[in-house]
Structure 1
């Protein structure tokens, strides 16, 4: 804990307690004054409310007097024709009522009672065109007829949903003045009712502020609390408002909080002043020493400055300076170790990122360019696996030294700044060349590095079959940050690998477009609706007599964003991204739904072949899904041939074994597709039972080109020995067909027979074969069906 914190902890509670005690004393002295002030404020607010109410009463009186002095009311009363009075004069009287209202939207009503208290006329300014006088106002009229007064006002606030001030007046129908008391029974009773909106708003405001409502009664309430007030609204109506102690306590609570905050602020101010004095004369020299030490630790200074202080602080400064001198050397050794690759002795990834980021930033600021070479050793894993990791480590150390020597020789010869060399990871190296692109430096360095691998890489008198692939990217043409620059150079390196290894490649728009398209395909696969963008086409499979025995379902994708995307392009992306489950399941469901139509074209024995992703074979739900689709579409399992690519046998898990056995148990046919593509061995054909082997088109083409009929016969014989039928794929020439037939192949598939077709086109193709292949001997059909296929 610092000296300043110790002083703060010791002094602050004492200062705070003193100010809180003073605040408490002020609160006790001011509470009575605040209570008296609240009472005066309440009385003033209530008197203002009463004045507003009385003004509303006067407004209702003036409203009725204005009607009495107008011609519309006189004409209405004196007219004897009741129909004319109700239709014509009533409308005029209604307009007079509306014209006298200050607020067009405010509520006002006018009613005329005859001597029998029957309603001669009623109108109210409201949204209800069929409004009628309510019972409370009728009852008020009855009460007034029993009294001696000829005019009075009343506040109706307990009946109905509209509080209103009603001013009532008995009027002589002839003189339009007040009748004699003896003639009151034959006089008309007129009432004007207005809604005291301002009074109601002030009443609501008082209730919201004080939490209590105004009490209206004919007499004032007994005041038993100091925070209460009562004012008269009329001769027989008083308004009283009583505030609860809780409201006053809340007011006092706010005062307590303000006093407490004031005490806290004053305490903080006082303690700050005290701390400033303590820091200036006590902790200041120590803080200066601490700042010097921190500056050295942060790298802002090289040594600790000497302070002119005597006593303990001076001796402490000298001791720390000496300790710093002793630790600098150790720190430099540790820092060098953290930035150096322990195996090769050159910079590691962290050091390279720091140096390269600085160089790239300086180049961009100066309008210059920098080039990055990303180097990967081809076949290095082979060296590690075959000769051991010790040999691999020696190879990397030797390579790092030779690359450093070659790069340094070229840059010194050209008079350039030294390049930045680092081992990023494993067998990956990076070289940041600080020269102008196009001057030949990058090309010369790349050639020198590739020359190190001519005839293999020599270590300790022995050569190893490794090469190098180099990717180059330029800043800021290809990227503006070191992370993007490494990524783009890495992409260019993979382009060099795909081009045959032991070469260099420059990052280009084509590489970027390829990476962008891969990302776009992934995004489209994640969001697409298979029913809208996918479709299936079918490729017929025929036997030696030309009869269609089955069809293979092939997937086609047309994206509204990407256009047509081939399966060779999107299938590997879907499998590597874990997106192939929904594709496989859509293909299974769609193909089975078309199975009945295929059988109607080629007969009930037609078999539908469906390709399944190798990754999907490991799913526990695949057999259940096949079974569910069979039930849904009403087909037999013997009609479905599940084609498994030969890569499924490379890594066989227990779950895959169980899935295959379950599919076979349910009655599905199984085929190994693309046999001869490079994965399947003879032993695997023996181990994995299948109904059909499909020879890959590349294998068929190679054997046909080399006239290797005995080899083909041996492969087919082996399959027949395992009770497997053989389908030859890629049959696109009569020569391939003839060779497969001579070798004993059972069925054939390829463009010589038919290209993949939609169901509609497949129906036309089937009809064309029927027309072009007349019935005849089997040998004639064998010659005729390829010609018919060519027409398709």
Structure 2
């Protein structure tokens, strides 16, 4: 037996007995303290449960008051048009409800009820799009209506469904204040409900921890036994938690186990101290190796030194050193791979964000600027789809190599700090350089990059029709943070695209103002009163004999804040923000209301052309709205022509095709507007479900040149072969009208005939046109009489 084992056999029993005796004394002293501590902890937990519940109650009450005081409920309640209230104001009310909660995953519902029990509106922020108000909520509403109270709250906890905290408030539909008791029957009831998610989670956690159910009732509880806690959740709502009798015993057994383990551990520590001499002569070499390895891991030493030990300890030292060197090499490889784009071999977005932040900090400390170039490859998706992903990948790799060479050359020639070039996403790249604007560096860099695309981008001995758009933003002139710098460079890149692609644009004040104007237009669209700010103007359409055969209704907006806003500005914003339905429905209703006057001016067969948003045909309700307005205003559907953009017709989907078929079955005419502004094939022309093709003014301008007359004739003939009438837009000179007539065009529209006019001015124009026609007739008669 070794000396270490002998010392262990002699000393360990004595040491262990002493520590066991000490642990027993500690247990008897601490057991009563643990019981008191657990009791205090239980009351603290039940108090926390009460605070969480009351917080949910306060939040729901706040939701209710915020909803009542907001404008969305007022608009919804006072809107007489049920369809508009259901579609447009319902959506707005839904947005108001969802905006009340910062937690997008939290359940919240709201309902508007008219006594005795009519649910005008119900919405809940859940995954069920067809959710309805629960019977428990309806029962609570019934009790509230039957009671003399004007507001109430309750905790609905029914087996089988998640509990809800429900608040109800009667409001006067005129003043939107709490009504007097005598007017309760004419009031409306607004109810909100939230699911106390945090309360339920904490309740389940307590039940799991203490192995007992948290009792909730409407009567006050009495504490049971020594370990029990009660709480008042609210008026007439109480809770009690009484752990199982063995709960405290379990804690005491844990204490006994810990004390026992502690006694053993302390005994071992004592034995270790006794065996120091043994360790000094046997284990020191291993301890030294361990210390050196720890220093390497903490960074205090770069590598393990060579060891001069022999035997097992020496071989262990050599193997540990070899393992460490291999691990460091693998770590370097993994780190480089995580910061490198796998396709192009340049930096990826993660490394770009890390390094760019460092570059901006260095630039701020040095007092110099940083310039970001945001590069987007135009038409890359077209090349990728047409020629395959292999060509697309090769194009990106070749482009990355060539831009890397350009950046490296310019950095060397101009003696700049090392630049950063990275691939941010599919066909988007970014370059960060520490340089000041005005020195010509950025102009040279962007020019050299654009020169790569001057005659198509060559890959594998073949040129492909891609270009580049470059957005430029400078730190700190254009932005103070990296996210702002990237956003501004991205905005400048889109500006470059709008200027014709394969170009560059610097972020400017005009772009900032353009963003602000777009934001203000969106804000005004959300709150505007269409009857006060919108109006329609009408542009006549004539045939070859000059007779007015139709009028196109065009929308105009005069904002008290923004002034005159053109449709080219606000229509795209309305479509991207989901506000187009509000606009289109107003235009349809107002145009049909005006049709009677238009018909008196130009005859019973006059066609009324109405433009609607392309996105509108993706909804099922547009056909019903057209039919309802036509019936309400007594307009024959055959005299209404619905104008759709050509680019929409190119992307005609199943739902929109069904809507068009429904409208045509009802008698409405379909017209393809702005034909020639997009990318239409002959096959798509043949498949268009339309009665009329309206040639875009740019196409008319191009084709009315004498050299293009055969093309114009062929295009019109193709439309006629498909039983489509052809309307030419942008007819502003007699020469254009003559060439269009020679090509067989059916109808004409443009400033040569008339500008868009308000309804009253249109009447004056029609009267003036009749007078001019009468004078011309008289002159012709006089000339015939003199001849």
> Which range, TM-score by smaller chain?
0.5 to 0.7
Which entry has the higher C-alpha Rg, 1 or 2?
1
What corresponds to 2:403 in structure 1? 403
Q: Is the 8 A contact 2:650 2:684 kept in 1?
A: no
| Aligned counterparts of 1:511 and 1:288: Cα–Cα separation in 2 | 66
Distance in 2 (alpha carbons) for counterparts of 1:13 and 1:571: 81
Query: Structure 1's 660 and 290: CA in aligned 2 closer, same or farther, altered over 3 A?
Result: farther
Kept in 2: contact 1:539–1:551 (CA 8 A): yes
1:472 aligned onto 2:469:
no
Q: Give CA-to-partner distance per residue, 1:623-682, whole Å, 9 cap, x none.
A: 111111122222221221112222232122232232222111111122222233344444
Structure 1 unaligned runs (5+)?
Answer: 1-6, 27-245, 255-259, 307-311, 784-792
Indicate how the Cα distance of structure 1 residues 289 and 350 shifts in structure 2: closer, same or farther if over 3 A, else same: farther
Q: 1:607–1:640: 8 Å Cα contact kept in structure 2?
A: yes
Partner of 1:634: 634
The alpha-carbon distance between structure 1 residues 632 and 296, as it changes in their structure 2 partners (threshold 3 A), is farther
Query: 1:81 aligns to what?
Result: none
Contact 2:368 2:434 survives alignment (8 Å) = no
Kindly indicate whether the alpha-carbon contact (under 8 Å) linking 1:544 and 1:747 is maintained by their aligned counterparts in 2. Answer: yes
> How many Å separate the matches in 1 of 2:373 and 2:460?
27
Q: Match of 2:645?
A: 645
How far apart in 2 are the matches of 1:452 and 1:746?
A: 47
Q: Tell me how far 1:23 sits from its aligned partner.
A: 6.4
Q: How far is 1:684 from its partner?
A: 3.5
**1:371 to 1:313, Cα distance in 2 relative to 1, 3 A:** farther
> 1:737 offset after TM fit, Å?
2.7
Which residue number in structure 2 is paired with residue 357 of structure 1? Answer: 357
- Offset at 1:553? 0.6
Residue 688 (structure 1) aligns with:
688
Structure 2 gap segments, 5+ residues each: 1-15, 37-221, 231-248, 274-283, 307-311
SS of residue matched to 1:474: strand
CA distance in 1, matches of 2:632, 2:356: 62
* Alpha-carbon contact 2:374-2:472 (below 8 Å) kept: yes
Q: Any residues of structure 2 matched to 1:674-685 within 5 Å, and which?
A: 674-685=674-685
Distance verdict in 2 for CA 1:716–1:438, change over 3 Å = closer
2:517 pairs with 1:517: yes
Secondary structure at the residue paired with 2:774?
Answer: coil
Structure 1 residues 138-537: aligned runs within 5 Å: 323-537=323-537
How many residues matched?
A: 549
TM-score normalised per structure 1: 0.59
Q: Which residue does 2:764 correspond to in 1?
A: 764
Which residue matches 2:731? 731
Residue 566 of structure 1: CA displacement?
1.2
Residue equivalent to 1:224: none
| 1:384 CA displacement | 2.9
Deviation at 1:303, TM superposition (A): 6.3
In the TM superposition, what whole-angstrom CA distance separates every residue of 1:537-577 from its partner, at most 9, and x where no partner exists? 11122233333322111011223333222112222333344
Query: Structure 1 residues 476 and 529, CA, compared in 2 at 3 Å: closer, same or farther?
Result: same
Alignment check: 8 A CA contact 1:545 1:779 kept: no
Contact 1:545 1:778 in 2 (8 A): no
Q: Alpha-carbon deviation of 1:437? A: 3.2
Counterpart CA distance in 1 for 2:290 and 2:637 is 83
Alpha-carbon distance in structure 2 between the residues aligned to 1:602 and 1:371: 62
Instruction: Give the direction of change, closer, same or farther, for the CA distance of 1:24–1:579 in structure 2 (3 Å limit).
Output: closer
SS of the aligned residue for 1:353 comes to: helix
1:575 equivalent to 2:575? Answer yes
Runs of 4+ with deviation above 6 angstroms: 10-16, 23-26, 273-283, 285-301, 303-306, 312-322, 778-781
**1:19 partnered with 2:29:** yes
In the alignment, the residues of structure 1 paired with residue 440 and residue 587 of structure 2 have an alpha-carbon distance, to the nearest angstrom, of 54
Query: Match of 1:566?
Result: 566
Give the equivalent residue in structure 2 for 1:195.
Answer: none
Whole-Å separation in 1 of the counterparts to 2:694 and 2:752: 17
How do 1:587-666 residues align onto structure 2 when only pairs under 5 Å count?
Answer: 587-666=587-666
Deviations, residues 294-330 of structure 1 (Å, cap 9, x unaligned): 9977878756999xxxxx9999999877644431111
Q: 1:515 & 1:388 partners in 2: Cα distance?
A: 37
Q: Taking structure 2 as the reference length, what is the TM-score of the superposition?
A: 0.60
2:376 and 2:601 mapped to 1: Cα distance?
Answer: 56
For residues 669 and 291 of structure 2, the distance between their equivalents in structure 1, rounded to whole angstroms, comes to 81
Pairwise CA distance, 1:475:
0.9
Paired residue secondary structure (2:704)? helix
686 and 460 in structure 1: CA distance in 2 versus 1, 3 angstrom threshold: closer
Query: Aligned in 2, Cα 1:768/1:570: closer, same or farther, shift over 3 Å?
Result: same
User: For residues 615 and 488 of structure 1, what CA distance do their matches in structure 2 show?
Assistant: 29
Distance in 1, matches of 2:470 and 2:700, equals 37
SS at match of 1:496: helix
Is contact 1:370–1:435 with CA below 8 Å preserved after alignment? yes
Aligned to 2:547: 547
Deviations 1:710-749 (A, max 9, x none): 4444444444444433323222222223333344433322
Q: Distance in 1 between matches of 2:552 and 2:455?
A: 48
How big is the shift at 1:615? 1.8
Tell me the residue number matched to 1:76: none
Describe the SS at the equivalent of 1:600: helix
Alignment check: 8 A CA contact 1:649 1:680 kept: no
